[in-house]
Each structure stands twice: as C-alpha cells, then as structure tokens.
Amino acid sequence: MKKAIQLTINGQPVEASVSPNQTLVQFLRDDMGLTGTKHGCGLGDCGACTVLLDGKAVNSCLVLAVQADGCQILTIEGLAENGKLHPLQQAFVDKGAIQCGFCTPGMILSAKALLDEKPNPTELEIRTAISGNLCRCTGYQKIVEAIGEAAEVIRFREES
C-alpha cells in the first residue's frame, strides 16, 4: 500500500510513491540515491541524517517520508551552487573540520539552519546548534571554528 507524495528536493520537484512506514532517510538514500545523508543510528541520537525540512534541521530517520509531502527538503547534495562549495562546506574543508566525514553532511546542515536564523552566532550558540550532531573524530573544535568562519564569509558576502 504505497502512498503518493509530492515534494521538492534540493530545488527539484519530485513525485514518488512510498510505503507508509518508510522514513525520510530511507527514501532519500534508497529511492532517491541521495546517499550524502548518512544513517548512524536510526533513533534520532546521532544527527548524521540531518536534513533541512522547510528550512528547519530535522533528523530524517525520525520523519516519515509521507510527512515530507508538500515540503521543501535540502540535503547536502543541494548545498553547493554551480559546482562551487557553499561557504560552510568551504570552511569545513579549509579549517580541518572534517575527518572521517560521516557526521559532516548533518553537521553542515545543522549549521546552515543556525546561520539562516542567526547570521552572527556566539560560540555557545554554535555549540548548542550542533549539540545534536555527534562527532567522534574531531573533538568539535575545528567544526566550531569552521562554522564561525563561514558565518563571517556569508555576512561579508551579503553586505557587499
């Protein structure tokens, strides 16, 4: 018993039929081939599956695909524009915020949700925004620095 849904993924309208118990992360990874969204626990604990749903960071393992009907989804694959890394992606690369990279897509999207709302966050705000995204590799320091730097780049870009 599949259900038809219509949604926008990374700016592209998508029509699909999904089973009622399929999670959004399964739908994105298995049906859409968007494997940049990672699956680390399936329980809402690790944040590796974070995507933006109508601009808000959500754990896509806790959202059913049917719940995304009519929504705008942004995954890590939709962040770079015209082959150019988004400032957050660039800062993660430049600042050494990536090691194994498994937390990175979710981390970057949580950071994006933060910066969209608070272009000039404090360190504590940054740490709080990513506190649902676990990283076992980096100790977070370089991630926090990268998000701070990206915020600056984005602000500068918007001012000029």
Partner 1 sequence: MGDYRVLNTRAPRIDGPAKATGQAKYADDFKMPGTLYAAILQSPIAHARILHIDTSKAKKLPGVKAVVTSREAGLIKYGVSPARYDETLFAHDKVRYVGDEIAAVAAFDQDTAQEALSLIKVDYEELPAVFDMFEAMKEGAPQIHNEFPGNMNAEVHQEFGDTDAALAACDLVIDHTFLNKRQDAAFIEPHSCLAVYEPSGRLTLYTSTQVPHYVMRTVAMTLQIPVGNVRVVKPYVGGGFGPKCEATPLEMSCGLLSKVTGHPVKMSYSREQVFLHSRARHQFYAEMSLGVMKDGTMVALKNKAVLDGGAYTSFGIATVYYSGSLLGGPYKLKSMKYDGYRVYTNKPACGAQRGHGGVAHRACFEQLIDMTAEKLGMDPIDMRLKNIMMTGDMTVNELDMSSLGMKECIEAIRKGSDWNNKKGKLPKGKGIGMACGFFVSGAGYPIYRSDTYHSTVVIKLSEDGGMANVLTGSAEIGQGSDTTMAMIAAETLGISLDNVRVYSGDTDYSVDLGAYSSRQTLMTGHATKEAAEEIKSKIALYLSQELNVPIASITFGDGIVKFDGGPGNFDKLRTNYIKEHRGWTDPPSGEYLTFREAARLAYLRAGTIVGTGKYKPPKLGGSYKGAAVGTSPAYGCSAQIVEVSVDLDTGQITVDGMTDAHDCGLAINKMSVEGQMQGSLSMGLGECLFEEVKFDSRGRIINPSLGEYKIPTALDMPKVKSIIVESNEPNGPYGAKEVGEGAIMPTIPAILNAIYDATGVRINELPVTSERLFMALKKNAEGAKI
Residues that bind ligand FES (CB under 6 A): 39-42, 44-49, 59, 61, 98-103, 135-138
Answer with the entry of ligand FES, partner 1, none that 59 interacts with (C-beta below 5 to 8 A by kind): ligand FES
Query: CB–CB of 106/38 below 8 Å?
Result: yes
* Spatial distance between the Cα atoms of 154 and 25, rounded to a whole number of angstroms: 29
Closest CA to 89 of 150, 154, 5: 150
Is residue 7 within 8 Å of residue 68, measured between CB atoms?
A: yes
The nearest distance, CB 113 to partner 1, in angstroms, is 15
Q: With respect to ligand FES, which residue has the nearer C-beta, 90 or 155?
A: 90
Partner whose footprint covers residue 69, from partner 1, ligand FES, none (CB < 5 to 8 Å by kind): none
Residue 63's contacts (CB-CB under 8 Å, 6 or more residues apart) are: 23, 24, 25, 53
- Is the separation of the CB atoms in 23 and 65 below 8 Å? yes
User: Site residues for partner 1, window 71-130 (CB under 8 A)?
Assistant: 75-77, 79-80, 85, 89-90, 92-96, 98-105, 108, 126-128, 130
CB of 13 to ligand FES, least distance (A): 25
Query: Considering the complex, what minimum distance in angstroms separates the CB of residue 132 from ligand FES?
Result: 8
Q: Strand 3-9 vs strand 72-74: parallel, antiparallel, or unpaired?
A: parallel
Nearest partner of 47 among 28, 31, 62, 26, judged by Cα: 62
* Shortest Å distance, C-beta 1 to partner 1: 14
Interface residues with partner 1 (CB under 8 A) are 29, 33-46, 48, 75-77, 79-80, 85, 89-90, 92-96, 98-105, 108, 126-128, 130-144
